[in-house]
Amino acid sequence: MAACPHDHMITGSVLDILIYVFDRYMLTEVAEVPEREHLVRDLERAGFAQVNVERALDWLADLACDRDRPPLPVSVSDAGKGPAVRVFSDCELARLSTECRGFLVTLERLGILSPQQREIVIERMLALDADELDTEQLKWVVLMVLSSQPGQEVAFEMLEDLVSGGHSNTPH
């Protein structure tokens, strides 16, 4: 992690704050996130540094804007036999591990993520202030993206099952 003049105050990364907000507010019966000012006070009382709180809240605001994004056009491969393959940019290859990229492909193949949601997940992953992005972080970001979009309950449950080890019940 790069040195920061506020390192002595930082008690949690941007992702730690996002997970805290997600767990505390978005997974409740009435998934309602309080106003930004109230949330800032709550997060600072919980011990998170203001600089990371602001970054995390900006990240969430950008996620909310992604809901209004127009749908991606349907694309097919050159042979016309199936969906096109997503080619990762150099920046994405450098920041997203092979495991992350493979997990994204798997989620899309299983129908948990649409191509548009995959793009939102990639953008939100790259917006994290982490040098190395791993599948644990990716799972949280996917959960946040799915929970931020209406009508994604089934995909959300499928991912929860996959993340919690529901796939380990398959015979080997």
Does residue 166 have a pLDDT over 60? no
Parse the chain into domains and list their residue ranges: 1-66, 85-172
Does residue 143 have a pLDDT over 70? yes
Per the listing, tokens 């969906």 go with 83
Beta strands in the chain (DSSP E): none
Q: What residue spans of 110-172 are helical by DSSP H?
A: 115-126, 135-148, 153-163
What pLDDT sits at residue 101? Answer: 94
pTM score, two decimals?
0.74
Q: What percent of the chain has pLDDT over 70?
A: 73
What pLDDT sits at residue 170? Answer: 38
CB 133 within 8 A of CB 97: yes
Give per-residue pLDDT as tens, 22-77: 888 776 655 666 788 999 999 999 999 999 999 999 998 888 876 666 665 555 44
CA distance 121 to 140: 10
Beta pairing partners, 83: 76
Answer positive or negative: Cα dihedral of 114, 116, 120, 123.
positive
Model confidence at 9, in pLDDT bands (50, 70, 90)?
Answer: very low
Dihedral, 115, 141, 59, 132 alpha carbons, nearest 10: -100
In terms of Cα–Cα distance, which of 69, 64, 71 is closest to 148? 64
